[in-house]
Structure 1
Amino acid sequence: MEAARCRYLILLLITACRLIPEVAADIEEVSDGPSDTQGPIWLTDVPAAVDFIAASEIAVIGFFQDLERPVVSIFHSMAQHFQDVFFGMSNSSEVLAHYNITSNTICLFRLVDNEQLRIEGEDLENMDTSKLSRFIETNSLRLVTEYSPMTVLGLFNSMIERHLLLVMNKASAEYEESMSRYRQAAELFQGEILFVFVDSGKRENGKVISYFKLKESQLPALAIYQTLDDKWDTLSITEVTVEQVKGFCDGFLQGRLLREDHKSEENTPKEEL
């Protein structure tokens, strides 16, 4: 199992989300804190915090008992740096108690696997812009996550052990529509399979593609991987449809491999990437 996990450290990945406009408006209406739309949204009570998290694929909240700490200004700068991540802030004792916060803490909440990651204590005291930026970028997993070396750790640490990759050229005319359908399929398997996009147009992604023994002529393709036992399968496709993605995932979950030769390949050590 360790060998499987080590091999899979190379496969992992980022896309984007938007806060539901109606919820964002409601949160800002009840806010009596900073009004800068480029800064964190001030969360004054528990309902506002709950709605804020529920409406975001990635939400980062600074729970600060002391607003004079240096990390508060660092947190503000992150809100302007990551335009596709939503930032909130609160010093409400009610909100802090609801999330079991007992000291200054930064929390990253992600929808895809219902995970909550924290920076607190000494780690928070030693936090700087570079460290916080890396923490957010590394752990920003979404319904569809685009492959990036920065997201390897976040995917590896996820409790979801099955990962589905869509391998296609991002520059292709079909990309936008394909991604829309891929995201629809991802919603059907939320919490069960992590959906990943690999841009075959990037030269540095060649090793990921060759790991699944895919050739350029076989793209676009779907590749599914199970970290627990190193089981994997692929499917070449002419277009992305929700039905096709769902059928491929359902088959894998039921133990059916489309390519029988994978069974023998699984017992053959693969070249490390």
Structure 2
Amino acid sequence: MEVALFVAFLVSSVIAAEKDPSLLRLSDKKAVEAFIDSAEVVVIGFLESEESRGYKELLAASNRVSSVPAAICSVKEVWADYSVSSDTIILFRKADDHQENLVVSRTKKLDSDGLVKFINTNELRYITEYNQVTAVGLFNSEVKSHLVLFAHSGSKEYVELQERLAALAPEFTGKFLFVLINGAVKSNLKSMNYFGLKSKDLPRVGLYDGNSDMKWLLPEGEITTERVRDFCHSFLRGDLKDVRQAGEEPKTEL
């Protein structure tokens, strides 16, 4: 009987915990820095308490976007280090060393759906797969130069090249956003046409500079880490300015 009661107590405790989850609490600057450094993209609610507007919504959103760790910091002495003066939810991303602020008091409608959209829209990683949602974050970033990998999902090169470029991307933080465009998706044909590419041409690597509205392709050949690195440095040195641009069609959004 006692064993049965004990088991029942454990089960009820687990159920209660599932019904009343909470966000990780960060108690000082070191904890915040460690959390930001723990993943490519994280979200922190700089909120006064768990009773603050935005906490329950952030908790619900974090449960729906499990790939992005979320936490809360209520220590106001830490807030100033991140230019926070009032309750604010911030998304930190390493791809362009950027923080995207959502000030609670300035947000008329704050719900979990809106926070999920906020996270998904701004969730840029070292190599971000292009789609209609990530496009917003990519083109709103202060980093306007994109290193683009065109490849077919499901091909033997796809995963290998994705991992290879994701490993290279941190070297160019703040200089390039690395973007993966799946050539197997029909809606991406416009991006391929923009670079003058057809399905049979893939995989290929291109570079787009939003500041000058110019674009180039890495010459055909094996897509190695060394060749892509040299391609990026050629752009940074200005060597590509006199190189013929890829494609001939007028600009369209990637």
Task: Compute the TM-score of the two structures, normalised by the length of structure 1.
Answer: 0.78
For residue 40 of structure 1, report the CA deviation from its aligned partner.
Answer: 2.8
State the partner residue of 1:114: 97
For residue 185 of structure 1, report the CA deviation from its aligned partner.
Answer: 1.9
Deviations 1:81-122 (A, max 9, x none): 112111111212332343343221101111111111111143
- SS of residue matched to 2:85: coil
Task: Please identify, of 158-167 and 256-265, the stretch whose mean Cα deviation from structure 2 is larger.
Answer: 256-265
State the partner residue of 2:118: 135
For residue 171 of structure 1, report the CA deviation from its aligned partner.
Answer: 0.7
**Contact residue 41 and residue 69 of structure 2 kept, 8 A:** yes
Q: Which residue, out of 77, 83, 87, partners 1:104? A: 87
State the partner residue of 2:207: 224
**Contact residue 170 and residue 200 of structure 1 kept, 8 A:** yes
The question of 1:189 aligning with 2:157 is answered no
For residue 239 of structure 1, report the CA deviation from its aligned partner.
Answer: 4.0
> Aligned AA for 1:102?
S
**Contact residue 45 and residue 73 of structure 2 kept, 8 A:** yes
The question of 1:213 aligning with 2:196 is answered yes
Change (3 A) 1:193 1:237: same
The question of 1:255 aligning with 2:213 is answered no
In 2: Cα distance, 1:176 partner to 1:58 partner: 21
Deviations 1:203-236 (A, max 9, x none): 1111111111112222100111101111110135
Change (3 A) 1:162 1:272: closer
Change (3 A) 1:213 1:102: same
For residue 261 of structure 1, report the CA deviation from its aligned partner.
Answer: 4.2
Q: Which residue, out of 42, 57, 60, partners 1:74? A: 57
**Contact residue 74 and residue 128 of structure 1 kept, 8 A:** yes
Change (3 A) 1:227 1:97: closer
The question of 1:48 aligning with 2:26 is answered no
**Contact residue 41 and residue 89 of structure 1 kept, 8 A:** yes
Change (3 A) 1:179 1:237: farther
State the partner residue of 2:67: 84
**Contact residue 144 and residue 195 of structure 1 kept, 8 A:** yes
Flag the structure with more relative contact order, 1 or 2, with Cα contacts below 8 A and sequence separation at least 6: 1
Q: Which residue, out of 150, 162, 184, partners 1:179? A: 162
Task: Please identify, of 121-130 and 156-165, the stretch whose mean Cα deviation from structure 2 is larger.
Answer: 121-130
State the partner residue of 2:225: 242
State the partner residue of 1:199: 182
In 2: Cα distance, 1:162 partner to 1:226 partner: 4
In 1: Cα distance, 2:113 partner to 2:106 partner: 13
Unpaired runs of 5+ in structure 1?
Answer: 1-33
For residue 47 of structure 1, report the CA deviation from its aligned partner.
Answer: 0.6
**Contact residue 143 and residue 187 of structure 1 kept, 8 A:** yes
State the partner residue of 1:17: none
Change (3 A) 1:148 1:270: closer
In 2: Cα distance, 1:140 partner to 1:53 partner: 14
Unpaired runs of 5+ in structure 2?
Answer: 1-16
In 2: Cα distance, 1:105 partner to 1:272 partner: 31
The question of 1:158 aligning with 2:141 is answered yes
Q: How many residues are matched?
A: 237
The structure that has the greater radius of gyration is: 2
Change (3 A) 1:203 1:143: same
- SS of residue matched to 2:162: helix
**Contact residue 181 and residue 240 of structure 1 kept, 8 A:** no
**Contact residue 191 and residue 253 of structure 2 kept, 8 A:** no
In 1: Cα distance, 2:242 partner to 2:154 partner: 29
For residue 70 of structure 1, report the CA deviation from its aligned partner.
Answer: 4.5
